[in-house]
Structure 1
């Protein structure tokens, strides 16, 4: 966590408070055509009807070839640092970041997996229950993009309808012309995978925060909508963990029948 970050009393940093829905990096390379929070989500957040969303942890997993920049991406976002001489990840590492989305707490657990083949079986055991799959590739290494489909298939095998991303790193290493050529192919691969495409630079920080905020908002909204669909007759308050059960339609129907019977 950077020294300049202001921490609030609810343990959420000031720069982790989200009130606006971030836009997609490439509007033609995303299956998630979201530009704003769903009205139902805004209303539920305003009325504290988001169920257990604020109490749960969202699990995001980064996969991809060795040395594509997965750890650098995580370190830039979580600690605002860039280390040229980082050590390769052994097995799995993870970070936990707390957010406030529309004034509702939301926690993102970021799992950074090793890209070496010998660690593949270890990393695979952590895919279960994944909410977000981030396939990372090196924009300057065409082979790492070719392997993206394999990584996506492996990560999604034990995940339950995760939000999917294809993230190209090391954007600072490419000239505008070279990047344009890579982007066309990357966007096509993303469409094939049903994933949203992003290009970032962990070295300069370009697009890193916007990308992770987009991840959080898409996942948060999906979680709230699922909660509303599964508990349409409940009003749940996150702040003091108070759960208020409203009278359901069945109870009302029985009550009306009882009154009608007594009046007969």
Structure 2
């Protein structure tokens, strides 16, 4: 299990994003009918902030990957971060993580991706790392229908432990390469119901072929980035509003004091 400290994370950060990690237009969902997040463009406020201000401080969002054992969580992470696929991988013990660098609207941005163990005996360990999560990827295996029906429980436990107010939720089906078209179509009837029940955006991926994996993480990065910019702007607006009220209050106090003191002589 990794000892996670700020210095360890900083060492993993890249000086610049590779060409294939640069985002200048908002990534689309897998299917429009399978998402509760209908953002199709970066907001004008985000564009303005990124273009007019030089943002050079660290931006990082935390993503956790959860689900039953052997559904392909590690394979998704390895395909995206390391561009590899190994069918003989060893099960994750506790947790592991990767930090992936993007440039979004020319702003440095990082996803901290946590790969968690699916075994019951490691569940309490993994949950201790859920705090502060901005996005949750709930993974199921198309060839194991039971793993789909366990997703609701995995998500419920993650939300309880994460303490985040409203993280983005993604329901991701793996091993697409093993599915026939008719079987996938039948499976997606149930998937759509589960996605709607847990208010998640649905994605279909294959770690073996790489299909849709990059698009999934690009979508997550863009949504998290837009949300972080939104929260930053709201925080600044609150600070300005509070500062204005305080200034106004001080001026009123000064006027009141002056009116009371007029005609009086100060006594030293």
User: What stretches of structure 2 of length at least 5 have no aligned partner?
Assistant: 1-13, 259-268
Indicate which of 118, 121, 124 corresponds to 2:124: 121
CA contact (8 A) 2:136 2:167 kept: yes
Once the two structures are superposed, what CA deviation does each residue of 1:81-128 show, in whole Å capped at 9, x if it has no partner? 100111111110100101111011111000000001111111111111
Aligned pairs for 1:1-264 (under 5 A) are 10-48=15-53, 54-159=57-162, 160=164, 161-232=166-237, 249=244
CA contact (8 A) 1:61 1:112 kept: yes
Q: Is the alpha carbon distance of 1:251 and 1:146 closer, same or farther for their aligned partners in structure 2, counting shifts above 3 Å?
A: closer
Name the stretch that deviates more: 64-73 or 225-234: 225-234
Q: Which whole-Å CA distance do the structure 2 matches of 1:92 and 1:75 have between them?
A: 14
Once the two structures are superposed, what CA deviation does each residue of 1:33-75 show, in whole Å capped at 9, x if it has no partner? 111111111111111276x8x5132110000000000000000
Q: Which whole-Å CA distance do the structure 1 matches of 2:39 and 2:59 have between them?
A: 23
Secondary structure of the 1:87 match is coil
Secondary structure of the 1:154 match is helix
Secondary structure of the 2:32 match is coil
CA contact (8 A) 1:135 1:167 kept: yes
CA contact (8 A) 2:140 2:151 kept: yes
Higher-Rg structure is: 2
Q: Is the alpha carbon distance of 1:155 and 1:251 closer, same or farther for their aligned partners in structure 2, counting shifts above 3 Å?
A: closer
Q: Which whole-Å CA distance do the structure 2 matches of 1:83 and 1:166 have between them?
A: 22
Once the two structures are superposed, what CA deviation does each residue of 1:134-180 show, in whole Å capped at 9, x if it has no partner? 10000111000010000000111132111111000000100111111
Q: Which whole-Å CA distance do the structure 2 matches of 1:120 and 1:145 have between them?
A: 18
CA contact (8 A) 2:59 2:108 kept: no
What TM-score does the superposition give when structure 2 sets the normalisation length?
A: 0.82
CA contact (8 A) 2:16 2:108 kept: no
